[in-house]
Structure 1
């Protein structure tokens, strides 16, 4: 299958493929929590990891459902290259989450952790999941909501730049999309996760390392003048906690079922 043209999201995550696993502590924590929320009696003969990255949760799903057929899908070729090398076993597909190249009613589980926030049309993602799920199948996802990177956004504003942090869907947006999807909502909640870093350079290095520096809207990244950069540093320092500079991630967890 020909791989799609590289869009900016795919380019950013492909560039981060080699550093991703070493920087992805939050991603592992969130994904493992999402796995714990799967229905206990769920029977899985086939599963899809949507936005699989380097395949960490493909490996987890293989261990949980050892007899099932697994597929990992990602839009970033660089991520898939790492996944095939580090975690062989599942089929790996390079495709868009809104146009999954799998047959209708072919999956019992669609799992997606911290990937769907980069998809502009969440309603289309839910519709596609509904198409490929078998009746009774489950979509389990985690994603990011508004309030994510709150501290960094405040600091950029103090530096005179307001469009350098992505804006994510609100919790109400997620609630409404799920309610309109035709899928039954079993669980939907938002939980904050806070990480701490020694300084601003460590924050930005981490965002580059996980591919999250890509801006979906707003200003293009560029150099700040010395005075603006000092305002950025000063503003973030006002938020320092004993553990370091905080970075807040507002994580939405959702578990939906396709009606039988």
Structure 2
């Protein structure tokens, strides 16, 4: 359940995507709306948005009548959220070492961010620590098998796909077991008009940092090879995400 993560490099990758993030964040919005539906109470609460990005769901929680603290590892993402006035407070920080006292929030929310943590057990423990009894920790993450189409297409280049390894469902459950986590699985498949569009969707949200190191760019010839192998249907070229929604009711 642990992995070596260069947090500075992750922050830089997301920082480069700060201006383009919202136009490519279809997955994040779909996933976040499902997670939001799992909240017991959605108004008059102190909410932490841990891994806020440009603040799409910070604003969602705030517009429902909550006081929201937006936290992100990337200064550029946090500045984007601040410029749009999406929250009441903005803090630069790491989910694995939250800069808050115990029992500060009623809701600790993290939409598609904890997969970038080094130790999921530590991250979930930190989110529970800062959440009051009677509150909720709500998170979503990617599980093993995500982006399978990308992995399949890359076989045409006779090299491993530039995809980070995601934890299995069993590993994610084990990380939150002592906290009483409940997990809800879902698979979402997005379609794109071409391979370049699929790859741009990943770059546009900053999901380009590879824990094992960067790869060389793609030539036109290599893109053609990928397109020949990339799974598609009548909608276009596919990218599938195996999602897990986690709910911890704090008692």
> TM-score scaled by structure 2?
0.92
- 1:190 aligned to which of 148, 169, 185: 185
The answer as to whether partners of 1:54 and 1:82 remain within 8 angstroms in 2 is yes
The answer as to whether partners of 1:45 and 1:108 remain within 8 angstroms in 2 is yes
Q: Cα RMSD (Å) of the superposition?
A: 1.9
Q: For residues 19 and 227 of structure 1, do their structure 2 counterparts lie closer, same or farther at Cα, with a shift above 3 Å needed? A: closer
Structure 2 residue 216 is matched with structure 1 residue 215: no
Query: Partners of 1:22 and 1:230 in 2: how far apart?
Result: 26
Q: Which residue of 2 aligns with 1:11?
A: 12
Q: Which residue of 1 aligns with 2:244?
A: 252
Per the alignment, in what secondary structure is the counterpart of residue 99 of structure 2?
coil
Q: For residues 57 and 232 of structure 1, do their structure 2 counterparts lie closer, same or farther at Cα, with a shift above 3 Å needed? A: same
The answer as to whether partners of 1:134 and 1:258 remain within 8 angstroms in 2 is yes
Per the alignment, in what secondary structure is the counterpart of residue 39 of structure 2?
coil
Per the alignment, in what secondary structure is the counterpart of residue 158 of structure 2?
coil
Q: What does the per-residue CA deviation read over 1:54-101, in whole Å, with 9 as the maximum and x for residues that have no partner?
A: 11111111122x1x4320100011111110111344201111111111
Matches within 5 A, 1:1-260: 7-40=8-41, 45-64=45-64, 66=65, 68-180=66-178, 183-185=179-181, 187-217=182-212, 219-224=213-218, 228-236=222-230, 239-259=231-251
Per the alignment, in what secondary structure is the counterpart of residue 11 of structure 1?
helix
How many residue pairs are counted as aligned between the two chains? Answer: 246
The answer as to whether partners of 2:150 and 2:161 remain within 8 angstroms in 1 is no
Query: Partners of 2:203 and 2:219 in 1: how far apart?
Result: 21
The answer as to whether partners of 1:110 and 1:139 remain within 8 angstroms in 2 is yes
Q: For residues 83 and 226 of structure 1, do their structure 2 counterparts lie closer, same or farther at Cα, with a shift above 3 Å needed? A: closer
Q: Which runs of 5+ in 1 are unaligned?
A: none
The answer as to whether partners of 2:39 and 2:138 remain within 8 angstroms in 1 is yes
Q: 1:6 Cα shift? A: 6.9
Per the alignment, in what secondary structure is the counterpart of residue 141 of structure 2?
strand
Q: 1:122 Cα shift? A: 0.3
Per the alignment, in what secondary structure is the counterpart of residue 53 of structure 2?
coil
Q: For residues 160 and 33 of structure 1, do their structure 2 counterparts lie closer, same or farther at Cα, with a shift above 3 Å needed? A: same
The answer as to whether partners of 1:159 and 1:229 remain within 8 angstroms in 2 is no
Q: Which runs of 5+ in 2 are unaligned?
A: 1-5
